[in-house]
Amino acid sequence: MSPIHLLQLLIFSVCIYSFSVFTYLVFYYDLISSVLFNEVQSEYDFIIVGSGTAGSLIAHRIAKETNYTFIVLEAGGRGHPFHDIPAFGPLLHQSIFDWNYETVPQENACFAMEKAKCKLTQGKIFGGSSKLNNMVHVQGNISHYVEWFHGKYTKNYIEEQFNYMKSNIFHLSNIQYESNLSDAVLKAAEELNFNLLDKDFEIGFIKSLVTQNNGKRWTTSYNLETSKYVLTNVLVEKLLFNDSTCVGVQIHSPKKIKLFAKKGVIVSAGTFNSAKILQLSGIGPKTLLDSLDITVRKELPVGNNLQDHIGTGLDLVLFNNAQSVQMFDIMNPWNVFQYFFKGRGPLTTPGCEVVGFISTKNETTPDLQFMVLPVGISADRGSYLRKALRIKDSVWKKYFSQIFDKHSATFLTLLLHPKSKGEVRIQSSDPTVPPLIDPKYLSHKDDIRTIANGVLMTRKLIETESLKAIGAHINNLPFPGCENFEIFSHLYLECYIKHLTLTSYHPVGTCTMGLPDSNKSVVDTSFRVLGIDNLYVVDGSVLPTLPSGNINAAIAMMANIFFENNIKQRYSMNIKISCDKITFKELVQKVCPVR
């Protein structure tokens, strides 16, 4: 490493260390505050487990549109407004606000990572994983959602849900700061006869639409009054039952407490943790529960059908000159002023500036998504990003550290509809022990072929005049472990993908929604856990398949449908029944009270 690169590493490391210390201080301040000041009632109408996109949206609408009592239980802390600076999002990965999950060693993937384990970032913070993501809002193909509900809801009805959220729930905006790369990529796409989209689920390319408000990260949790409705640093250990009815939860905060729900428990803890909580509570595969001496409450395929958007392409594109935000841009006082006073500048960057959707089979539905990030992990000289991904030292030295004299970008090529499916299994009856997560990445050969075709499409993009004009060229360094294959040959790409396997952190499917008579279903199309009354699961875990794009918008849509058809409908019915019981005399007294 040259002296200048060593100096950069030192500066970046000091800044990142300072941010980490600040993050720890925020966490422990909130932890102490929650222990001292959390007020807990013994009973509520609804208990919501998890404050991510789904949990916070449901809670917000309950608070706004009903008089039901409820509490949101969040395992993580509240965070700080500094954590909402978009450019700082990656620094929360592998922090105390991350569950720090990882896969088990993979047989066909993640070879470039330590012990062949891929990192699985999941938010352990008020707001959930939406506090750690790229903020990209993709509505996706609505026909897929109609299939999820088995025709229960029409395409128009689901479209209405998205429109409602855009008008009443979400804050959406165009990216406030973009690099030279974004326009060049769109021009390159046009050169290859791709459409520039105004909708995000057709074939073509579009600039990212992001969940931001005045340049600041925005999540559904911002609609919720935390002091009144949310308990942080609360670990849900298991669900409580009376026969086949869920009546509450047992929590640890910092002592064991039982909380009861009169009308329902809504589990929105995420694809990994929702499956974990159900299994700990005796809902899941009988063989697993028996092996851990957990009483079987209901045998269901909880933890099966795990799917994720995975791909490759990290630091695959190189430039002679910087095209995007550099580390020193983020530390520039003028740019800090721009962010805090105008909501603009490099600190608002979402990371992903352009998304593209292509079909490798010449179909109308895409099977690949491109996420164009105008920066690579070599940008911080190894001070943080490579550690967050757990890249092996040998791979770092032979590949990524060799391009320090260049400026890298990432054209992440993501598989939208993988055929490989994995599982989540608890490994102990102790709720503090993380689950075993085996996504079985690339276990189906078709997945490798599709991603390989995507990498070849990236190469075609880079060879266009539009990208050549700004100095783009492919990183032709052979990837460590694949040196024996001709670069960009089929065998090389298969090797490259198996080594540099990247997840976009979009896990779904472990509590699959479906018809009650299916042996694959955990919840029905009303989100109720099969065979259990007053227990619902509403988050990414219920998605039977992956949407054609980022999953946050789809999860919010599902949560909105749950509220409309379970809570709001029930509340309206109760109001009607109450009104029907009022006599004429009582009505007169209410309208014209005696004075």
Is 270 within any annotated ligand binding site? no
Alpha carbons 479 and 469: distance in angstroms, whole number: 26
More confident residue, 253 or 393: 393
Q: CA-based angle 9:14:16, to the nearest 5?
A: 90
Q: Does position 594 have pLDDT exceeding 50, yes or no? A: no
Sequence-distant (6+) residues with CB within 8 A of 304 are: 285, 421, 423, 509, 510, 512, 520
Residue 38 confidence (pLDDT): 72
Could you give the angle at which helices 445-462 and 490-499 cross, rounded to 10 degrees?
100
Is 476 within any annotated ligand binding site? no
Q: In whole angstroms, how far apart are CA 422 and each of 303, 419, 440, 512?
A: 8, 10, 5, 13
Alpha carbons 382 and 8: distance in angstroms, whole number: 10
Alpha carbons 289 and 19: distance in angstroms, whole number: 42
Is 133 within any annotated ligand binding site? yes
4-14 pLDDT, tens digit per residue, is 656 666 766 77
Backbone φ and ψ for 409, nearest 5 degrees, come out as -135, 160
Is 141 within any annotated ligand binding site? no
Is 362 within any annotated ligand binding site? no
Residue 595 confidence (pLDDT): 43
Q: What is the mean pLDDT of residues 188-200?
A: 89
Burial 324-345 (b: 16+ CB within 10 A, else e): bbbbebbeeeebeebbeeebeb
Highest mean pLDDT among 140-154, 189-203, 280-294: 280-294
Domains of the chain and CATH, by start? 6-572 (3.50.50.60)
The rounded percent of the chain whose pLDDT value lies above 70 is: 93
Q: Does position 391 have pLDDT exceeding 80, yes or no? A: yes
Residue 143 confidence (pLDDT): 87
Q: Does position 327 have pLDDT exceeding 80, yes or no? A: no
Is 49 within any annotated ligand binding site? no
Q: Which helix (H) or strand (E) holds 436?
A: strand 436-438
- Please give the mean pLDDT across all residues of the chain: 91
Residue 97 confidence (pLDDT): 96
69-83 pLDDT, tens digit per residue, is 999 999 999 999 999
**Do residues 498 and 111 touch, judged by C-beta distance below 8 A?**
yes
